[in-house]
Each structure stands twice: as structure tokens, then as C-alpha cells.
Amino acid sequence: MARAAAFAECCPLRQITLHPRIGKQQYKGEVDRESFAAFYSECAHPLVYNGDLLTVDDIRKVEEAYPRLEGVMLGRGLLANPALARAFADGTPLSSRELLDKVRVFHTRLLHYYEAHLQGEVQLLGKMKPYWEYLLPDADKKIKKAIKKATTMEKYLAAVSRL
Ligand SMILES: Cc1cc2nc3c(=O)[nH]c(=O)nc-3n(C[C@H](O)[C@H](O)[C@H](O)COP(=O)(O)O)c2cc1C
């Protein structure tokens, strides 16, 4: 990691975002915090941490551990909870009711966007269903299954409204 930081030193980069996993891991196993710490201590560029930040507490811990960070990047955490960044900024996690309301707003906007840009039910379902791999991970499993198996928009929306 120190070598990687030394290499980055020579590159005219505005910012570096580091997700401390190797490609082979994909999303499996732990993020390598030790390697991130080594890179952080050597890196002269503005640095952003990315990886496995799922809660407000996760974000706080990383910011405390690495005070010189330029920021954090949220991936799956933000897909699971589209209000995660807001909850972090406000300092209070959302209740499950508030979260559900936010997800509904997010889902409706997303749906309207794809309705305006895609043609046909099959395409629309193909775009919307994969979001449920991430959205509301703690939601009722039967409802999630009905969403994923829906073959028409009518069935899809009926399942979503049961959440
Ligand atoms: C649905 C999805 C799509 C992604 N697409 C890209 C991509 O196009 N390019 C990229 O560099 N990383 C992509 N990533 C990886 C993320 O940028 C991020 O590095 C990774 O998800 C780890 O962060 P997380 O633990 O916060 O999810 C994607 C991740 C997910 C879950």
C-alpha cells in the first residue's frame, strides 16, 4: 500500500477514492482496514474512503479513525437506505417508518424517470427489480420475493405497495 501511495504521488490526481478490497474478493470477506490505514498515512492526495458503510455509526467510526479524510463514498449502504447521507448529516438515524417513506419517494421518482426514458413493461421491470437486491434489506422476505418474481408492472406495484 505504501508503494501504491508513492505511485499515486507522481500522478496529477485531484482526489483518490479507495475501496480496500482486491478485485478477486468482489464484495466478499472483510475490507482491509490495515491496508487502508497504510495508504492513508502515506497518501498526499485528498483521500476518500469507500467500502461497507451501511449505517450512520459506520460512517462516524471511519471519520474518527481517519480525520484527514476528504470524505466517504457510499455505495450499497445508500442503495439500502437512500436517506443514509441525510441521516448522517442530521446526526439521527431514521425510524423504520421514516425510512420506508423515504424509500417510497425514492422509488416513485426512479420509476417516473425510467417510465419517461424506457419503452415497455419488460424494460421497466428489468430496470426496477434489481434495485430490490439492495433496497430495504430488512423488509419482509415474502414481499421482496413477490417483487422480484413479478412479471407485470401491475404485480410489481401491488407487491411494492404491500411493504
Ligand atoms: C449496483 C452497483 C453498481 C456499481 N457500479 C460500479 C461502476 O460502474 N464502477 C465502479 O467503479 N464501481 C461500481 N460499483 C462499486 C462501488 O462503486 C463501490 O466501490 C462498492 O460498492 C463498495 O462500496 P460499498 O460497500 O459502499 O457498496 C458498483 C456497486 C454496486 C453495488
State pLDDT tens for residues 47-98.
999 999 999 999 999 999 999 999 999 999 998 888 899 899 998 878 889 8
The tally of domains found in the chain comes to 2
- Residue 38 sits in the same domain as residue 113: no
Instruction: To the nearest 10°, report the CA torsion of 137, 97, 101, 91.
Output: -90
- Residue closest by Cα to atom 21 of ligand 1: 75
What does the mean pLDDT of the chain come to? 92
- The mean pLDDT of 108-115, rounded to a whole number, is 96
Q: How far apart are CA 40 and CA 34, in angstroms?
A: 10
C-alpha cell of 95? 425510524
Q: Closest ligand 1 atom, CA of 52? A: 25
What does residue 69 show for φ and ψ, rounded to 5 degrees? Answer: -60, 140
Residue 1 has pLDDT above 80, yes or no: no
- The mean pLDDT of 24-44, rounded to a whole number, is 89
Residues 6+ apart with CB under 8 A from 101: none
- Residue closest by Cα to atom 26 of ligand 1: 75
Q: How far apart are CA 31 and CA 20, in angstroms?
A: 5
pLDDT confidence of 2, banded at 50, 70, 90?
A: low
pLDDT of residue 91: 84
Give buried/exposed letters for 2-11 (b at 16+ CB in 10 A, else e). eeebeebeee
- Residue 77 sits in the same domain as residue 135: no
Residue 9 has pLDDT above 80, yes or no: no
Task: Provide the whole-model pTM.
Answer: 0.81
More confident residue, 115 or 10: 115
- Residue 37 sits in the same domain as residue 100: no
Q: How far apart are CA 83 and CA 106, in angstroms?
A: 9
Residues lining ligand 1, judged by CB closer than 6 Å? 19, 50-53, 74-77
Q: Are 53 and 62 in contact (CB under 8 A)?
A: yes
Host domain of residue 26: 2-90
- Residue 83 sits in the same domain as residue 32: yes
- Residue 79 sits in the same domain as residue 114: no
- Residue 105 sits in the same domain as residue 67: no
74 class by beta-carbon count within 10 Å (0-12 exposed, 13-18 middle, 19+ buried): buried
Of the residues 90, 105, 125, which one is the last residue of a structural domain? 90
- Residue closest by Cα to atom 17 of ligand 1: 75
